[in-house]
A and B are shown apart, each in its own frame.
Chain A
Amino acid sequence: MTPDAGGLEGLATLRDLLDRLTRVYGPPGREAGIAREIAAIIGPHVDETWTDALGNLIAVKAAGAAAGPPAPGSGRPRPGDRAGRGPLIMLSAHMDQAGLVVTSAARDGFLRFGVAGDLDVMALPGQRVVNALGILGVVGVDEGVGKQDLASQKMYIDVGDTEETEGAALGDVFCLEPRTGDLGPGGGKFTSPALDNRAGCAVLLEVAKGLYLSKAAGRADRGSRGPGDALFPGVAFVFTVQGAIAPRGARTAAFALEPVLGITVDLTPARSSGKEGSRVEVGKGPAIRVKDGDYVAPPRVREALVETARKCGIPYQLDVSSADEDAADASVVQVAGAGVPTGVVGLPARHARSSSPVVDLHDLEATVELLSRLLLEPPEL
């Protein structure tokens, strides 16, 4: 895309949002902080937000009637009850980041850990990591361990002396220190350890802020598409838990919301130097997933995404993967409840499982545009 003046302003906003989101601590199972941050941003743009039993943050902009009453006899209010609300489209992105879970706190200040999430062990030695209390550690490797024998059991987090381990108990989770940065002469590319999947969260937040790009909505008089509302179906923005490890939290949110359509936004590994693979490339637009190791896109959903991109002149690429580790939340959303047709839009990232993934802000911007346009004219399902 050729960025015009407006586009550049959009990129700067996106960049600042990414910078803000990727600095918040939030590994799997410890998503409360990042959920609060996201809720504060999305709150003004939706009807209601709540956190479910597992910690998924759900923000709904409903068509027609707002939230239903508490479920009778449930003993506690049930925000998001389906009663009285029209159909919903669910956009989801996992909000947790990979972390190092402390499994043994030795007296010598060396903490053993297990890896939770997609972090290549090759990327770990020498990294600076922090826990929820901000305690700094450095990842070390046992003496005599060769490169080919590298495994998390042979590494440790060095938090200094014995006293320091008091603030780093068993079960604590350390995350890579949030160092963000811009790449390229005019910027446009961005790196931060937590891009997987705060980049997806940023895209959802921008869609919410634009609420289907009000400019575009105002431009054309589309007549009535739903019961007295330009937003029909409504939309649920779902920021899920434990998705950095495997597709998990999105399943229960989809069960509760019963959406008519689901779209998951997540990082997708892109080609870097070395071998000429078939994977997608950074800077060439959102990657509409055809399949991965755990998921095959329903043709109607895939075609709707492609058709929307074509019609609106949005760059896109098709992503075919056979790897289980590429599985996005879509694989569980689509089998929740009685089933949900679900698509995946990937944000291409180089060095995706390293400490420094790189995304192109233009790809994110194009994804915001693509999702907004799709919501504006949702496919017949």
Chain B
Amino acid sequence: MLEPAPGTLEDRVGELLERLSNACGIAGGEGEVRELLREALEPHCCEVYTDTIGNLVCRRGNGPVRVMLAAHMDEVGLVVAGHEDSGLLRFKESGGLDPRVLPGRPVLVGLAKMPGVIGLGAVHLLDADDREKVPPSRELLIDIGAGNKEEAVAVAPPGTPVFFSTRFERLSNGRVKGKALDDRVGCAVVAEVLLGPERDGLTLFGVFTVQEEVGLRGARVAAYHVAPRLALAIDGTSSANVPGVDPSLTCTDLSEGPAISVMDGTVVMDSRIREQLASLASRHDVPYQYRRLTTAGTDSGGMFLQREGVPVCSVSVPCRYIHSAASLADLGDVAATIRLTNLFLDSLDKGEFEL
């Protein structure tokens, strides 16, 4: 494979990731992210469609081996659940949020992106005990400046999605920060692979799934109608190589390459695919690591029990501060994940790897 000039792939994927990260979509309301991906991919795919529950399916090629790459479009966020007489909003969580990050956080309410803030008790009223505690989300309220209940209901009725307002930014060393990197990094990887060369031996389905953060739901439906021979889930995963964490507990290390999963809380990965990925990475000098955690889940767990069974493996981009308002990733890891995915597809295409 011809290596692109240094930085090229990173730059291209960085631009796409910026747009994806700034787009908003929690489980069940992924439309904005879906439209962005559809526009980018429709000219390059032979078929693009949205299925009955909102998964975006993009097909390249018409070869004998059906392969599915899944990346989920939904991000963790909040949903408006009620209104106080004062005009403040009650909310519930969508997806597993780190409760420490909510109080005082600026947010965007609704797809109109109305600014707001997650309010908390005034600092001059705090006693010593309060300073030690993280208030549970049921005690927090979103303030959008509404003067009363009627005003609040009119602009943010129950069910209105709420997003973190973090803007994507480039940091030093090729690292980036933004919201929703879980799993817009995966969306960027799958999109970039779809934009790459078509392979005669494969029917490649890039599937951008819905409702992953609330139970791997979209991927199940997609794997049923796509009916792939095998599948990869490309996701963002936790990375904790920061000071004070024992090296055995970091899960993954930022900037050390894509993390190949062995197992998580929903599936034991197919060892043939896992070994093929590791072997390709070693042979082609693509950095990689294993994901050193056996819990949580990705779309792999949703896909593998469909139909007669789908051999799966998850490949994840390390993301620090995942499931919070702002996470941090390395474009080098994203680019390496694209290279590894392409190498894997090439080996399937050439018949070097079969299941």
Contacts and interface: CB of A to CB of B under 8 A. Distances in A.
Contact of B355 (A29, A53, A242, A252): A53
Given A30-B271, A171-B274, A248 B305 contact: yes
Interface in A13-29: 28-29
Contacts of A208: none
A115 B311 CA distance: 22
Given A242-B267, A248-B267, A53 B308 contact: yes
B158 to A, nearest CB: 31
B348 interface: no
A104 B292 CA distance: 6
B263 A101 contact: yes
A106 B250 CA distance: 13
Contact of B271 (A29, A114, A170, A251): A29
Please classify how large the interface on chain A is, using the bins under 10, 10 to 19, 20 to 34, 35 or more.
20 to 34
B247 A104 contact: yes
A116 B248 contact: no
Interface string B288-321: 0010111100000000111111110000000000
Contacts of A153: 249
A171 B293 CA distance: 10
Nearest to A169: B290
Contacts of A54: 270, 304, 309-311
B268 interface: yes
B294 A171 contact: no
Contact of B248 (A112, A171, A253): A112
B118 interface: no
B340 interface: no
Interface in A274-315: none
A250 to B, nearest CB: 9
Contacts of B307: 252, 255-256
Contacts of B248: 103-104, 106, 112
B322 interface: no
B305 A252 contact: yes
A54 B99 CA distance: 37
Nearest to B293: A103
A242 B292 contact: no
B294 A53 contact: no
A53 B310 contact: yes
Interface in B215-271: 229-230, 247-249, 262-263, 267-271
Contacts of B270: 29, 54
A223 interface: no
A170 B267 contact: no
A332 interface: yes
A251 B306 CA distance: 8
B308 A256 contact: yes
Interface string A64-99: 000000000001000000000000000000000000
A377 interface: no
Contacts of B293: 103, 114
6 contacts: A54-B304, A54-B310, A114-B263, A114-B293, A252-B309, A255-B307
Interface of A: 28-30, 52-54, 56, 75, 101, 103-104, 106, 112, 114-116, 153, 170-171, 241-242, 245, 248-249, 251-253, 255-256, 332
Nearest 10 interchain pairs by C-beta: A114-B294, A29-B268, A252-B309, A54-B309, A171-B262, A104-B248, A53-B309, A103-B292, A256-B308, A112-B248
Interface of B: 64-65, 229-230, 247-249, 262-263, 267-271, 274, 290, 292-295, 304-311, 355
